[in-house]
């Protein structure tokens, strides 16, 4: 039976006054698309110096040894209070196992400093950020998206 393509998106706007992500408050957003017992989930988790932008698939009726090909696409937009905005797109495909523990596990650890969005310490530069993760199952076409808007107000 072919799975019907369903797209789900979740948007979360983090508190504008949050200076940095911390153990007590790490801005996050997740989006899940389901068809029967099969689901695809995308996630965005902002950490003090990076962001986890990842996807996963799950099906409780299949063994954990089962694999599927997922494509994860991410986009990060950065708008400083002054100066030029930055935009980075990344994409990858690969075999991903069922039964992921701890949530989305395939995708990117996006390091702020590596892409010119980090202070000398590696922490996020002040400004506005938009993170988008889209995960698509290659066989069924089932796709889920997660997006998060976050404002860092503290200086480097």
Instruction: With respect to residue 11, please indicate whether it lies within any of the assigned structural domains.
Output: yes
Q: For residue 145, is pLDDT > 70? A: yes
Instruction: With respect to residue 137, please indicate whether it lies within any of the assigned structural domains.
Output: yes
Q: Write down the pTM of the prediction.
A: 0.84
Domain of residue 64, CATH code = 2.60.40.2420
3-state helix, strand, coil in the chain (%, to 5): 0, 55, 40
Q: Tell me the C-alpha distance between 153 and 28, whole Å.
A: 18
Instruction: With respect to residue 1, please indicate whether it lies within any of the assigned structural domains.
Output: no
- Structural domains counted in the chain: 1
Question: How much is the pLDDT for 6?
Answer: 37
Structure tokens at 131: 């993170």
Quick: pLDDT tens for 102-121. Answer: 788 999 999 999 999 999 99
Domain that holds residue 24: 7-152
Over range 49-74, report the average pLDDT.
97
Instruction: With respect to residue 48, please indicate whether it lies within any of the assigned structural domains.
Output: yes
Instruction: With respect to residue 2, please indicate whether it lies within any of the assigned structural domains.
Output: no
Question: 38 pLDDT band (50/70/90 cuts)?
Answer: very high
Q: Which distant-in-sequence residues (6+ apart) come within 8 Å of 118 by Cβ?
A: 49, 111, 112, 124, 125
């Amino acid at each position: 039976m072919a799975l019907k393509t369903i797209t789900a998106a979740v948007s979360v706007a983090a508190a504008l006054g949050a200076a940095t992500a911390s153990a007590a408050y790490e801005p996050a957003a997740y989006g899940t698309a389901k068809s029967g017992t099969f689901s695809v989930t995308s996630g965005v988790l902002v950490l003090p110096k990076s962001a986890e932008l990842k996807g996963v698939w799950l099906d409780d009726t299949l063994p954990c040894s089962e694999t599927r090909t997922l494509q994860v696409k991410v986009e990060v937009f950065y708008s400083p209070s002054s100066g030029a905005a930055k935009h980075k797109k990344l994409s990858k495909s690969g075999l991903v196992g069922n039964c992921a523990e701890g949530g989305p596990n395939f995708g990117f650890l996006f390091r702020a400093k590596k892409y010119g969005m980090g202070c000398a310490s590696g922490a996020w530069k002040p400004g506005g950020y938009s993170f988008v993760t889209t995960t698509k199952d290659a066989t069924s076409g089932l796709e889920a998206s997660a997006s998060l808007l976050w404002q860092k107000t503290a200086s480097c």
